[in-house]
Amino acid sequence: MTHADKVHPEEIKNVEVLTLRLRKLKKEWEEAEPQVYVDDTLLFTESWKETEGLPVDIRWAKAFEKRLLECPLLIRNDEIIVGSLTKFIRGNGTLCAMKPHEILEMCESGRFARKTSDTESTKITPEDLKALKEDAEYWVEHMPRVSTVNAALEYDMGPGVFDLLFDRGCVFEGRGVRYKMDRGLFQNFSAYGGGVAQVSAQCIDNGLNHVIDLCKKERERMMAEGDDEHSHGSAQFLRKYWLLEACIISCEAFIKFAKRHADLAREMAEKESRPGRKAELIRIAEACERVPAEPPRNFFEAVQCVRLYHLVCWKESSDRPEVPVGRLDQLLYPYYKKDKEAGMVTPQDAAELLGALWLKIRECENLVTIPRSQRAAPGSLLPNITLCGVDKDGNDLTNEISWLVLEAMAQIKLSEPAIYIRYNPDMDEEFILHALRCNVRFGGGNPAFLNDKLGTERYLERGVPIEDASNWNASGCLGYHLDRMEHVGGGHNINQLKVLELALNNGFDPRTQKQLGPKTGDPREFNGIEQIMEAYYRQLEYFVPILHKVKMLSLCTEITDGPMSGLRCAMQYEDCIPSGLTPKEGGARYPEGRTSWLGSRGMVDLADTLAAIKKIVFDDKKVTMAEMLEACSKNWEGSESLHQLCLNAPKYGNDDDYVDSIYDELSTHVPEIMQRWIDPITGKKPMLFIGAAAGHVVIGQSIGALPNGRTAGSPTNDAACSVMPGMDVNGPTAAINSATKKAYAKEFVGYAMNMKFSKNVLNTDEKLKKMAWLIKAFMARQGWHIQFNIHSREELLDAQENPERHKNLLVRVGGYSAYFIDLPPELQNEIVQRSMHDRF
């Protein structure tokens, strides 16, 4: 890590990220009609047919190579950073080998959904439609109808297992186990199968020629001396040979892909009459001739290299391209510093380049093949950027690029990438204010702040040395990983609220009308909350080993089934080359990382539900348990006042010990149960994940009305420790206190706190400072992840319609802050009006 020079905010505040040319490019993209892009899938299939009979690693690598060598390229007019996913200004990529049935269905219906919006179908030409349909048909013919994971689960556990999985009982939710989910050849959409490739600073800095060289040497060495990692003749020994070959093919393909861009740029330069543009094109050509084979020579080449990495990783991770961009400020800073000192780059130049990179990253879109209702994270592509952090010696690494990236975010105002700041208490307060100001300008939610110390400590506790432990970055939704040292995949989740629902129904699932869990007693006969909790724990104890089994079967089936390993191995070359294993197979330096995650969803709802039962049934004796359950089963129909009573019961997030103590007990006991069985893959305690991101909508659909006042099918709480919307009536400090009463974030990964403010509560630096203090106190109390949303106009409108859901909506009016719902309608209207025009 390069030591950061002092930042001069005035230099940064005046930069124009969206220069005229970028504004034009952005507008052009925004206005372009999305098109279905088919060239890559056709190339893939063509290669697949050509490589019939070769080892599967090679087949994947060759298919990847063919796409990179033959796909059409696009350099748009006036682009300064190049590398487009498709030949269209706005194209949606896809691979039929992933989900042929779903794509075929789309071809037949003529409707192509897309990631960002489903209101209109993505366009496709008649020729492309014909070709895509044929392609899909080929894969349908060559693929079994039911995914191999599902087949394996059914074989091993019987058809009853599907009653627990997503879309049926929904006790478990994991992307690899969706019932009837059709997967093609590659299971990489699943949480485990592929995971994703990641932009790696180490690879950029060393150049891929270095990696290719290592692969070749290792292969020669192996041939000459045998392999000391594995016994001769073992399957792994034999596999390693092909894996190294796959690495070489993938890296070389990537280098050639860059060279193709160089050639195109030169060709365009020759025809170009404007001398300025000509020079730019030559600069692009020179960069793409250099990187990624060799290390970048300057800042511009480094930015161009990051772009190419992101694009290629995206292509390789085809169907789940959540490619983390990593610690962008750390990666770019050494190049920037050197150029700036040499007078070759100014903050303004850097700002424009970052803006250009930003637009290219955001451009990548794929066709969506999952029905909207089942999507976990609608619209999210998760190319996360991580900033700041401290090094192994405790130095704050915030630098000028950290400032500029935030500025780019605020000026460009596109939903992604998401920015994560590794927060440490010694950070310059000016920087935090800059981040918060950018948050407000952006419209809220970005950046998020992560607890730097806690993140590093989690790795240290696992025995990871400080050099590696301090190099983590945000990935996926609410996850994090070590650059080039961990497998980046997801986790399997248990839906805690469903487990409780079963406990409240003696193991019977009201929705599927099946006995899914053990009979833990009829709650109508219970006479205290302890018995309810006991029944819930017993249900959980029954399901956790099953979850482990499902997870293991999913993973081992996918490992044998779907490789796509070449590029990913190459990116983790220090470990994967000697071991001859892909990251997902345990080749990563710290294999237990995200492969062992178990997710626990709905903890807040769980605590609220138990608190409401305790209060209304057992303490205040307002209704009997029988009456309560009856009202829930009717989704509150005819029990409106009981429903209201339930909504008014103590709720988590208000610093109210009545319910917080229940949350606390759950947070101790649930991990204890979930970690009682070791992870069958790593042989260690599973790591627990509690993030919900947008999965709360999906799991909520399977759960009926419950005593916390929820109605059947409504979303569960939207994050790990945020408060149910509208329920935090005591303000942000109370909400944070509930979330940090104990060091919960140590136990659970993904422990995110979402807070909402109205824009006009944040209109002066003085008030932003108060928000900065909230962050400081949150981190001091061992919080993990906090972000601030700004209320939208829609929300204000909804608050007018449904005041009960927005008890906490604080707005800034005149000289003070007021709860929105307390204001008379006319003034509410005024504020709604104003929310449209507020500008910072």
Partner 1 sequence: MEGIVYNIQRYSIDDGPGVRTTVFLKGCPLSCLWCSNPESQNPLPEVTWRYTSCKKCGICVETCPLELIKLDEDGIHIDRKSCDRCGKCVEACVQEALQMSGKRMTVEEVYDVVKRDADYYKVSGGGLTCSGGELLMQADFVTELFKRCRGDEIHTCADTSGFGTKEAMEKVLVYTDLVYYDLKYIDSAEHKKNCGQSNELILSNLVLVVEKGIPMVIRVPLIPGYNDSDENLTAIAKTVAELDDGIPVNILPYHRYGENKYRMIDRKYQLEDVESPTEEELDKAKKIIESYGLKCEISK
Residue type, 78: D
When the beta carbons of 30 and 822 are compared against partner 1, the nearer one is 822
β-pairing, 785-790 with 444-451?
antiparallel
Give the residue, chosen from 11, 823, 829, 838, that forms a contact with partner 1 under the rule CB under 8 A.
823
Quick note: the x/- pattern for partner 1 over 268-287, rule CB under 8 A, is --------------------
Give the residue, chosen from 378, 466, 803, 829, that forms a contact with partner 1 under the rule CB under 8 A.
803
Give the residue, chosen from 763, 789, 792, 829, that forms a contact with partner 1 under the rule CB under 8 A.
763
Residues 523, 602, 374: CA angle, nearest 5 degrees: 115
* 710-739: contacts with partner 1 (CB under 8 A): 730-734, 737
189-219 core/surface letters (b: 16 or more CB in 10 A; e: else): bbbbbbbbbbbbbbbbebbbebbbebbeebb
Give the residue, chosen from 119, 527, 814, 839, that forms a contact with partner 1 under the rule CB under 8 A.
814
State the number of binding residues for partner 1 (CB under 8 A).
Answer: 37
Which span sits near partner 1 by CB under 8 A: 379-387, 523-531, 573-581, 757-765? 757-765
Q: How many CB atoms lie within 10 A of CB 732?
A: 23
* 636-695: contacts with partner 1 (CB under 8 A): 641, 644-645, 648, 655
Residue type, 355: G
When the beta carbons of 546 and 823 are compared against partner 1, the nearer one is 823
- Give Cβ neighbours of residue 785 (< 8 Å, ≥ 6 apart): 448, 449, 450, 451, 478, 745, 750, 751, 752, 753
Starting at the edge strand that comes first in sequence, how are the strands of the sheet with 35-36 ordered? 35-36, 91-93, 365-366
Among all chains, which residue has been given the structure tokens 């861009």? 261
* 503-542: contacts with partner 1 (CB under 8 A): none
Radius of gyration of the chain from Cα atoms? Answer: 27
Position 53 contacts partner 1 (CB under 8 A) = no
Position 628 contacts partner 1 (CB under 8 A) = no
Q: How far is the CB of 430 from partner 1 (least distance, A)?
A: 16
Q: How far is the CB of 764 from partner 1 (least distance, A)?
A: 6
Q: How far is the CB of 827 from partner 1 (least distance, A)?
A: 6
Whole-angstrom distance, CA of residue 786 vs CA of residue 451: 9
When the beta carbons of 363 and 728 are compared against partner 1, the nearer one is 728
Helix axes 640-648, 625-633, angle to 10 degrees: 110
Quick note: the x/- pattern for partner 1 over 767-796, rule CB under 8 A, is x-xx--xx-xx--xx---------------
Q: Are the CB atoms for 143 and 184 separated by under 8 Å?
A: yes
Give the residue, chosen from 31, 343, 621, 816, that forms a contact with partner 1 under the rule CB under 8 A.
816
Which span sits near partner 1 by CB under 8 A: 36-44, 304-312, 535-543, 759-767? 759-767
447's enclosing H/E stretch is strand 444-451
**For residue 721, what is the DSSP state?**
S
When the beta carbons of 293 and 450 are compared against partner 1, the nearer one is 450
Q: How far is the CB of 818 from partner 1 (least distance, A)?
A: 6
Whole-angstrom distance, CA of residue 211 vs CA of residue 131: 37
Position 238 contacts partner 1 (CB under 8 A) = no
- Which residue spans within 321-396 are E strands per DSSP? 365-366, 385-388
When the beta carbons of 286 and 798 are compared against partner 1, the nearer one is 798
Q: Which two tokens stand for residue 81?
A: 């950073």
Q: Are the CB atoms for 599 and 690 separated by under 8 Å?
A: yes
Quick note: the x/- pattern for partner 1 over 355-374, rule CB under 8 A, is --------------------
Position 92 contacts partner 1 (CB under 8 A) = no
Point out which residues bind partner 1 (CB under 8 A). 641, 644-645, 648, 655, 730-734, 737, 761, 763-764, 767, 769-770, 773-774, 776-777, 780-781, 803-804, 813-818, 821-825, 827
